[in-house]
Structure 1
C-alpha cells in the first residue's frame, strides 16, 4: 500500500486584509508643506526665505525656528515670502508673535497669497472691495 502525500502546488488563498476604515469629514486635513529655503543671519537679524504653503500645521517648524532664534537673542527678522503659494491665520499667528518684546519684523517680496492675507487681516476680516468698473445696470 502506497500512501504518499503531496502538498498542493499553490497554497490556500490568504485572507485579504480588510481595507482601512476611512472617515471623510469633508475637510482637507492634510497639512500644507512649507519649506525654509534658506536661513542666514546679519548681526542680530535672522533672514529667512520661505516657499510653499503655510497653515496652522505647516507653520510649526517655522514657529520652532523663530522661538529658538528669539531665545538665542535675535531681535530682527526678515521673511522673504516671494515663493509662498498659500497662507492662512497660522501664518498671521507667527507674524503677530515675533514682534513681542521689542523684536522687529519685515516682510520682503510679498507673494500674492501673503498680500491677500494681509489685506483681509487689515480690513478686519472682510474681503477687500474689488476694484474695477461696476457692472452696468440692466434696462428693461
Structure 2
C-alpha cells in the first residue's frame, strides 16, 4: 500500500476562506415557548397555570393537552395567565376552541400581554360602521 502526499494547489495563505455555513429557517430563534407551570383538577375542571410565550407554534402542545383533557371528560378549564409574557392569535385559537361542545372556560389573572391581545382582538371584531354611526349620533 502506498500513500502519496501532495501539496495543495494554493498555499494556505492564498486559499480563500470558506464562509461559515449558516442555516436560516426564517423563524425567530429567541428562546420562548409556553410552559404549564401548574396543573390541578377540581372535579371535571382542569386548572392550568401558564408561563412564557404563546404563539402559533408553542400553542400546539397546549392544544394537545387540552384535547386530551376534553377526551378524558373535563368540561371546565381555568387558565391562570399571570405569567404569560407574550400571546398572539395562537392563544386566541386555543381560547376559542375549548368552549365548543358546551365546555366552560375561565381566564384569570390576565398578564399585560394577554390583556393587550384580548383588547386588540376585541377592537378587531367591533364594526367600524357602528362606531361611525355612534359618532354621528353624538354630534347631531
TM score, norm. by length of structure 1? 0.71
Distance in 1 separating the partners of 2:25 and 2:57:
19
RMSD of aligned Cα (Å): 2.4
Distance in 2 separating the partners of 1:85 and 1:41:
24
TM score, norm. by length of structure 2? 0.71
Distance in 2 separating the partners of 1:23 and 1:37:
31
Aligned to 2:60: 60
Query: May I ask how many residue pairs the two structures share in their alignment?
Result: 111
Matches within 5 A, 1:59-78: 59-78=59-78
Residues 69-101 of structure 1: per-residue CA shift (max 9 Å, x gap): 000000000000000000000000000000000
Q: CA deviation at 1:124?
A: 1.2
Matches within 5 A, 1:76-87: 76-87=76-87
Go from structure 1 to structure 2 and tell me whether the alpha carbon gap of 1:21 and 1:125 turns closer, same or farther (over 3 Å shift). Answer: farther
Mark the runs of 5 or more structure 1 residues left unpaired by the alignment: 1-12, 127-140
Mark the runs of 5 or more structure 2 residues left unpaired by the alignment: 1-11, 127-140
Matched position secondary structure for 1:49: strand
